[in-house]
Amino acid sequence: MDRRCKLFYTIHQVLLLHQGPIHDFTLSMDAHHTCFEIDQIILHLSRNHAVKKLTFDFCYYDMYVLPLSFFSLHHLTDLSLKNCNINQKPIFNGFVNLTNLSFTCGKISRKALLHLLSICPSLKSLSLFILENDFIGSEYPSIMELFKCLPVIDDLTTTWVDTIAPVVKASVPQELPTSLIHLKYCSIEEMLFHDGCGLTFVAVLIKCSPNLEKIVLEMGNDEMESDVLEEYSVTLEKYSDVWLEHLKELEIRDFEHVKPVLELVKLGAGWVEKNEKLEMLKTLKCAPHASPVEIVVD
């Protein structure tokens, strides 16, 4: 019996002999596209235990396809999926108790993603990292469709380059479909402004999130000259009336002295009370290669 078989045999024995509920289950390993042994583990959990916290962390090169029995785990409150494949639109009642979802580097179609989010009515925290090439099919969800599925979200972490940019494409709505009144924390990694819509998207997102307390933007590598980036900068004067009463911190990591970023800093200074501006702006972190930037708050 090889090591892999021994591992699964041991897991099955533990599950079969275990007395009492299993509320938390984590499996981190290499998993093939199809894996009967993992299918059986999920089936056993769905039939015999009210699992509340589930973590699957699999390898990247051959994403494991989640079986239908996975969608019978109705008691889930916390779900973390890494390198998993949801290649179907499941028909089930949903994860009504799910409050935290992390979906990282997985394959999923537009319909499956929107359906998954829409049947999680209690979802408050979402970490979404999907590579552009890992969207199954030729259709991407629109940003309007995406946020309609997140009515009570208060914590959002994602990435611009691979996840948000493909769904925003070349057009950013002036208003989101619903006010994200519960959103308090938003973090966007690999943020770029050279596509001409990144800055506008951030402004629209903030405008529709009146209760934001912290915004984190981790800048990606804009491999363009500053004068070219300035051509993509947009005027944000129409958002100058935005008032974020609860904003405590605007954090920009890998800060560069280019016009689009400075436009955002300028706009951010107008979002808060005058005596809070320096406290907010002090969190701007300059990259080692960036030019010194003097920020003057009137």
Name residue 205's amino acid.
L
pLDDT of residue 99: 98
Name residue 136's amino acid.
I
Encoded tokens for 104: 């990282």
Three-state secondary structure call for residue 103: strand
Polymer length of the chain: 298
pLDDT of residue 294: 41
For 132-175, the DSSP string reads GGGEESS----HHHHHHT-TT--EEEEEIIIIIHHHHTT---SS
pTM more than 0.95: no
Residues of the chain with pLDDT under 50: 170, 225, 228-229, 232, 285-298
> Do 182 and 124 form a contact (C-beta atoms < 8 A)?
yes
CA distances from 119 to 87, 94, 97, 151, 186 (A): 17, 5, 10, 12, 22
pLDDT of residue 227: 52
In the chain, where the domains are located: 24-141, 173-298
Encoded tokens for 169: 């494409």
> Do 87 and 61 form a contact (C-beta atoms < 8 A)?
no
pLDDT of residue 129: 94
Helices marked H in the chain:
3-17, 36-48, 110-118, 143-148, 165-168, 198-207, 226-232, 259-269, 274-281
Nearest to 25 by CA among 97, 88, 86, 73: 73
Three-state secondary structure call for residue 195: coil
pLDDT of residue 292: 43
As a whole number of Å, the end-to-end CA separation of the chain is 73
pLDDT of residue 280: 52
